[in-house]
Chain A
């Protein structure tokens, strides 16, 4: 159980990191991450 909780926390942290990475790198190219037609 403890392992699952730790995994979930790490996964959440890594997903936040990747989301920020996406936003930053798309913005650098003058693009937005969401809200496209």
Chain B
């Protein structure tokens, strides 16, 4: 065996042992590292051992053991919250947490699709994929340190402004917090080896080693996110504690609380979509500042790939969001009604507008991208119909149920609901609209995909007919489910019918992709694709995508956190600080918007750093 291989294998064994050590220790030791006990219990155990030698003291030890091992949630007064002149604790925490999350989402997502792109490069032996994957990871590396900086700022801000809350959380999550810190080392190590070893581990067996490091990087990153999600969801749906907030000693119960998995899924999918949109903005930035045709072609291709990733993850995202919301309702109806029936409902209208903007800009980018192909003229005539359907669905999607009106307007309307538009304000109409919007976005993708191709299989005509029939059947079914259950049955059925609606949309996507792949196997190209041959305005659609995603995450993140209202930990630990109130929607939107501007300014700085790093003197 070669020396380099020996070193590589030794390294992997060490890395495996480091990563597996918590599990190994958990199995081999009674006192698992994942169930760290507070000092009181350790002392009680020592006393117990002494007591075995001295039976006379047995009663006293039993009394010690009977004492609660963990403290209840503290009942705080306003004076318990430290104040720092010139700073509002809530705003500092709000912005630090949000900025940390934006960057964290980005740096966790990029390695996921970088690994996939690198894998595609290995499979197709196309060097361009490798180059693009390397460029993507380069951007995330700069963002990685900024994520850590904001993570530190958040931790220090919590110590300064909410020390008692943090102490309570540390009592419960001490073990996971330590595991998080140790995993961060593993994350950093694997990321740095993955990035700096890119050229070193480029060929043959070494490439597989590199891909494995990428896999470890993603496994560690996702675990980190799941741990942090446990803290966040514990604040919303606490588990593993009694009514007074006393930790029952089961770490898994507090981690695996009611909303943990819905958030895990939603964040995982959303992160990929978000990461795709931010690197798409980077590609757009480089495209617009490109000096040569080759550079333009490269960044056009990069922007297209990033947009593809963002949209591929965006399509299933509403379903993950729907599941999360349904689970919030299932956990606490009061929380659910605050979320979508109370003051926050209006933020969902803004959410609808932003999601509509996302779909429109993604579609617009695809339509502009059809200019790269000479064969696209065959499909251009369909674009106006797709645009019409998407806009119609968009209008239904953001129609509010109740309107903000003056008394005179209310009187003129004859009630709070508009005669025709009112029915469009309820969820069945919106579910129907969003499913059709997703289907037509998928149709744009199908058209883009075949724009430069001519199918050569004999059954191509019937393949197209089958695809059209599947689309038509699904739309009939989605509209039937939305109208019949939405307006002629009760609420249980209304909610229940959304499941087959989603299944119909997913069925179309799966069946049509299968038919498309088979139909265009061995297809002829109309002409070579002209990468870089897109108008500049298409690149602004990519910017819009990134900004909309960022703003959306900020607003929706605020709602998710805000539905706890005046609780640090819902129904367990009350927030008694001066800021324990729900701010107005306008105020919240302003804070989130400030966050978006700060984030975007830092992101542009990162883009600029990457640009100068590739410049030669």
Contacts and interface: CB of A to CB of B under 8 A. Distances in A.
Interface of A: 3, 6-7, 10-11, 13-15, 17-19, 21-22, 25-26, 28-29, 31, 36
Could you say which interface size class chain B belongs to?
20 to 34
Contacts of A10: 465-466, 468-470
B385 interface: no
Task: Please report whether the interface of chain A is mostly helix, strand, loop or mixed according to DSSP.
Answer: helix
The 8 residue pairs across chains A and B that have the minimum distance between CB atoms: A14-B473, A10-B469, A18-B477, A11-B469, A22-B500, A25-B500, A36-B489, A31-B496
Given A14-B470, A14-B473, A18-B473, A6 B462 contact: yes
A36 B490 contact: yes
A23 B344 CA distance: 35
Interface of B: 461-462, 465-466, 468-470, 472-474, 476-477, 481, 488-490, 492-493, 496-497, 499-500, 503-504, 507
A11 B129 CA distance: 40
Contact of A14 (B469, B496, B499): B469
Contacts of B477: 15, 18-19, 21-22
Contacts of B469: 7, 10-11, 13-14
A19 B478 CA distance: 11
B473 A36 contact: no
Contacts of B493: 31, 36
Contacts of B488: 36
29 contacts: A7-B469, A11-B472, A13-B469, A14-B470, A14-B473, A14-B474, A15-B476, A17-B507, A18-B473, A18-B474, A18-B500, A18-B504, A18-B507, A19-B477, A21-B477, A21-B507, A22-B477, A22-B500, A25-B503, A26-B496, A26-B497, A26-B499, A29-B496, A29-B499, A31-B493, A31-B496, A36-B489, A36-B490, A36-B493
B465 A7 contact: yes
B216 to A, nearest CB: 37
Nearest to A22: B500
Contacts of B504: 18, 21
A33 B515 CA distance: 30
Contacts of B497: 26
Nearest to A5: B465
A28 B503 CA distance: 13
Contacts of B472: 11, 14
Contacts of A31: 492-493, 496
A5 to B, nearest CB: 10
A17 B462 CA distance: 18
Contacts of B489: 36
A25 B474 contact: no
